[in-house]
Amino acid sequence: MQKKRFYLLFFGLLILCTSCFEIVEEVSFNKDGSGHITLTVNLSKSRTKINSIMLLDSVNNYKVPSKITINNKIASIVQEIKKTKGISNVKNSSNFNEYIFTISCDFTNVEALNTVISNFSSKKDAALIKQQQHFSFNKSDNIFARNYHYNLSKEFGKTKMEDRKVFETASLTTIYRFETPIISSKNIEAKISGNKKAIMLRVNAQDIIKNKKSIKNQIQLQK
């Protein structure tokens, strides 16, 4: 069975909620190219409706995933990540009171980080990540880059109109922290912190799906 992206583990549940959720990608990056990543799916603003839905077997022809199913899928991904060379300190948490789910780990280089990201993808997308790299770091120029290679607009167009509503208020947030100050950022939507050592970008999910906006960025760090 092909591995699903982390946020797609809950896609059926999200469709039923037709409410807001947030995916957060946080990376703390060191001078030597190592670092720490935390991926979070936050459904807390929909928890009241989710609690009601979780009592049912299915809604609108969608099977409602049980807590056991969700935990098993997360555990499967965690086991794959633990096998990755250059990855350590793998942790995960599932908060079914607030419906917040996280996976985090340390990485020794961006190659290991890209392999971690590929674990949330289908085999086809995982191969694309390894080829084109979602993350890259040019040590000589001190440039950290976040790329994005998925084209979701075609698949999104195949979904039912009522199912698309779930993405109306959904968002993807990226937060990157560095040991050295940020000199510049190519994505004009990204906001650099006051101390110049962190940068945040928040994009509406529909804008990403429709290719109106992107989480791609090239960050120049101080040498």
Q: Is it the case that residue 150 has pLDDT exceeding 70? A: no
Question: In this predicted model, what pLDDT tens digit does every residue of 82-126 receive, in sequence order?
Answer: 999 999 999 999 999 998 999 999 999 999 998 888 776 656 665
Cα–Cα distances in angstroms (integers) from residue 172 to residues 48, 57, 202, 221, in the given order: 22, 29, 6, 23
pLDDT value of residue 19: 56
Cα–Cα distances in angstroms (integers) from residue 28 to residues 56, 83, 175, in the given order: 40, 21, 8
Query: How many residues appear in the chain?
Result: 223
This prediction has a pTM of: 0.85
For residues 196-219, average pLDDT: 90
Question: How does residue 157 score in pLDDT terms, banded at 50, 70 and 90?
Answer: low
Cα–Cα distances in angstroms (integers) from residue 4 to residues 9, 62, 117, in the given order: 7, 17, 11
Instruction: Indicate the range of 56-65, 161-170, 194-203 predicted with least confidence.
Output: 161-170
pLDDT value of residue 4: 41
Instruction: Indicate the range of 21-30, 44-53, 87-96, 177-186 predicted with least confidence.
Output: 44-53
Q: Where are the alpha helices (DSSP H) in 39-170?
A: 47-53, 67-82, 110-118, 123-132, 153-157
Average pLDDT, the chain: 82
